Structure formats: C-alpha cells, structure tokens
Amino acid sequence: MKTMKNSTHSVKKAILIFSVCLGAIFASKAQNFEYKTTGTDFILYDLAIPEGQNDIAYAAGSKFTFDTEGIIIKTVDGGETWTTIYPTSGTSPSFEKIEFVSETKGFVAGYDLFMKTEDAGATWTPMTVGTDVYLYNNLSFYDENIGFVSAQLNDAPFFAIYLTTDGGDTWTAATDVMDAGGINVGYADQTTLYSVGADERIAKATDGGNTWTQIYSGVIQNYFLSLHFKDADNGVIAGEDGLLKTTHDGGSTWSDFATGYHHFYALAYKGDQLMAGGTDTDIYFSEDNGANWNQIFVGNGQNQLYEIAFFENGSGLICGSGGVMLKFDDVFLGTNDHQLIDESLIGFYNEHTQNFEIRASKGKLDTVQLFNLNGQLLGTYENENELCQIKAAHLANGLYIVHVLSEGRTSSLKVLKR
C-alpha cells in the first residue's frame, strides 16, 4: 500500500509540474529565489533572524529525522555564506528549533537539550526547563520577554508547554494542555496561540498559552503539520497531501486548498499574501488571503522545506533538508510592513494613453517595477520625477502589482486594467 501511495503521488507531482512549470520558472527568476551553500547536508529544521537584522541569521537542525547529531550554523552576510558555530568539536544531540530575542541572546531546543547563548552564539549553556523531557519540539517568543517551549515527555501526560515572562530566565508549566495539538504551536498575538496535531486537531489558547481548547478536528490518523498566524483572526495551517487551510475569523470557519501531494511545513503570512514551502523544495503563493494559490517556484525535486524567516528589508530565507537554503527578494509585495509611502502614492490605468500612471504626491519615484499576480516581473523602470508611465497596451485586462522605491523607501499598490 505504501508503494502504491508513493506511485500515486508521483503521478500527481508530474501533473502539477506539467501544468505550472513554465510560469513558475519565469516567476522564480523574477523573484530571485537562489540556492545558497550552507556547508552542511544536515536537515535544517529552523531559522532565526534577530529583529532589525539584514545580515545575521541562524539555522539549526539534525543529521537525520530522529535523534542523531545536531548542528547550528550562522551567516553574517545575509545568507550568502554560512559557518558552523555549534558544535565546534565532537557531536551534539539533534536540534528542532532556534530563536533569538536580541542580537546576542538566543535559545535552541532539541532532543533532551535546551540551551541559551548571550554572546550571539559564541558559547551555549544548557538549561533545565522541564522534567522527564525527551524532546523540546517547539520554541517561540512573542517579544524579548514573553515566550514558550513545548516538550514531548517520556511518561504521562506525555506533552507539556512551558511559559516565560522574563526572557527565558525562568519557565513555568502551563496549567492545562490536554486539548493542545502537540506537533506545532505558534503565537497569533501576545495572548492568543494556536496549536495543531494528530487527528487534524486545532486548539486555541487566549490566555498566553496556559489553558487550551480544541476548536477543530478532522480525519482520524491524519496530521496537521504546521501553522502561521499573522494575528488572532487570520492564519494558515498545513496538513497532509498538500492541504492548506486558511481562516479569517479566529478558527470559526476555514477555507481549503490542496495540491494532493506536498507536505508544507514552511509557512508565512504578511498582509494579504501567504507563502507555503514544502516537498521537493516547491513553493506556493497566495495574493488574496488564501483564496487562490499558485506555484511560484519549482524546486529540485529532492528536498523538503521547513521554515521561512525575514530580514528587516523584506528579503528572506527558507531552509530545508540536505542543508538547503533558499534566499529570496521581492516576493511579498504591498504588505503593511513596507507601506511607507502610503496615501501619497496613487496609480491607475489611463484608457486614452493605454498606460499605467503611477504618481507620488510627495517626492519622486526612483524605481518602479510591474508584476502580474503570479509574481512575474514584467518590467523595471528607472524614473526621475513624481510621475511614472508604463506602457500597458500589450497587457491583458486584469489586476497588476506595482512596487515602488522612492528615496530609499518602498511601497506597493495594485492597478487594474480593463
């Protein structure tokens, strides 16, 4: 039966690649997904980029999927090159998660091992957070003080969540986690957290993670794999066979999309745009809050993607198995994080001139880029004043995205040709 299932997946994969390959290849070039050499073939499960950074990032992982050897690597040039910083000699237990709350202070979690650094990874000190732990499998901080770590235990109750309010110096066990999903846990806001797990369980906490309530359950023996919430109402959850579930009302209702093939672990949600990376290093993208998805990158067909993290300038990294590291630029457009020109920027289609006209009421437009909704770069236009005109007679009717650089600031807007 396992062979038959894999064979079916191979057929589905072939159909997917055939149907989207050409457009995805062009889109991936426009959006500049680049493989970077990490110096390791370990499974890189997690990424950490300290707040405000455009250069420094960390990744942690394991030699194999189960407890074997672990590794922590670091970049100081925006992901271009990487160096192993732990262990510096010998071997270490496997790592699952890594998190930095400042430029110098960070934590790493794995098999019966939880460590802290206060010198940007130069040295690491083991910490005792819980008892009877064989695996710390989730680790996240909402800010520099508030955070959690979850753990799989050797004996009943077999799962625990530990909370901190002092930057990880001390930890307290959550009161009631019986309904929590034990596979992936994440913040939606300071007090709201979601979790997913076996039997397609979704649970929610509204008290900072201390008590949990199950809000959804699906197919028995199926698993939800990962989640990402941008706020208490809006989030995406990944399941088996390429399932992506989105909610915009705090989990009361869900919308589904599925490729029928992938396992998506790497998720991101900014503005109205979502990204999902998974099996075969394939990447899918939604421009409209998860209503529609398109494949924007066809991967190498060999590796699994696990985590997405962003630099301050909006570029980002995606890590995966086999030491895979992808760096990307200009994928997320028009998100709240980079709307710095705001109401001073307007754009529309002029039916008489058949041009898109982009105008800034304050300052000049230095560089303007035009994208279609699949993320494909259609043109880059250098400009010297407050008005940029883009010839659009040859373009099909529909919605387009304009990305503007103005005096070192960026913004985006959508323009409609009809």
CA distance 396 to 392: 8
| Same structural domain, 322 and 365 | no
Among the three residues 301, 328, 355, which one is the final residue of a domain in this structure?
328
| Same structural domain, 389 and 266 | no
Write down the pLDDT at residue 333: 54
**Bridge partner residues of 214 (DSSP):** 203
| Same structural domain, 292 and 171 | yes
Q: Which residue type is seen at 15?
A: I
Write down the pLDDT at residue 383: 84
Write down the pLDDT at residue 408: 64
Instruction: Enter the tokens of residue 98.
Output: 């890594």
Does residue 371 fall inside a structural domain? yes
Whichever domain contains 189, its CATH number is 2.130.10.10
Q: Tell whether the model's pLDDT for residue 231 goes beyond 70.
A: yes
| Same structural domain, 150 and 250 | yes
Q: What are phi and psi of 6, to 5 degrees?
A: -65, -40
| Same structural domain, 201 and 54 | yes
Q: Tell whether the model's pLDDT for residue 153 goes beyond 50.
A: yes
Among the three residues 299, 328, 357, which one is the final residue of a domain in this structure?
328
Write down the pLDDT at residue 66: 83
Does residue 64 fall inside a structural domain? yes
The answer to whether 110 and 95 are in contact (CB under 8 A) is: yes
Write down the pLDDT at residue 293: 92
| Same structural domain, 307 and 353 | no
| Same structural domain, 305 and 355 | no
**pTM (predicted TM-score):** 0.76
The pLDDT tens digits of the residues spanning 185-206 come to 999 999 999 999 999 999 999 9
CA distance 224 to 299: 23
Write down the pLDDT at residue 28: 33
The band of 296, judged by pLDDT with boundaries at 50, 70 and 90, is: confident
Q: What are phi and psi of 413, to 5 degrees?
A: -155, 165
Among the three residues 328, 362, 377, which one is the final residue of a domain in this structure?
328
Does residue 28 fall inside a structural domain? no
The band of 328, judged by pLDDT with boundaries at 50, 70 and 90, is: very high
| Same structural domain, 197 and 277 | yes
Does residue 3 fall inside a structural domain? no
Write down the pLDDT at residue 15: 32
Give the SS3 label for residue 368.
strand
Name residue, tokens 């940029």.
Answer: 388
Higher pLDDT: 8 or 323? It is 323
| Alpha-carbon Rg for the chain in angstroms | 22
Domain count for the chain, please give it.
2
| Same structural domain, 406 and 257 | no
Write down the pLDDT at residue 237: 98
Stretch among 53-57, 395-399, 413-417 having the lowest mean pLDDT: 413-417
The band of 399, judged by pLDDT with boundaries at 50, 70 and 90, is: confident
Q: Tell whether the model's pLDDT for residue 1 goes beyond 80.
A: no
The band of 410, judged by pLDDT with boundaries at 50, 70 and 90, is: low
The answer to whether 306 and 320 are in contact (CB under 8 A) is: yes
Instruction: Residue 368: give the domain boundaries.
Output: 345-417
The pLDDT tens digits of the residues spanning 101-133 come to 999 999 999 999 999 999 999 999 999 999 999
CA distance 389 to 383: 9
List of long-range contacts for 382-385, beta carbons under 8 Å, 24+ apart:
none
Does residue 395 fall inside a structural domain? yes
**Among 27, 26, 31, CA closest to 333:** 31
% pLDDT > 70, the chain: 88
Whichever domain contains 387, its CATH number is 2.60.40.1220
Instruction: Enter the tokens of residue 20.
Output: 């989207």
| Same structural domain, 226 and 373 | no
* Averaged confidence pLDDT in the chain: 87
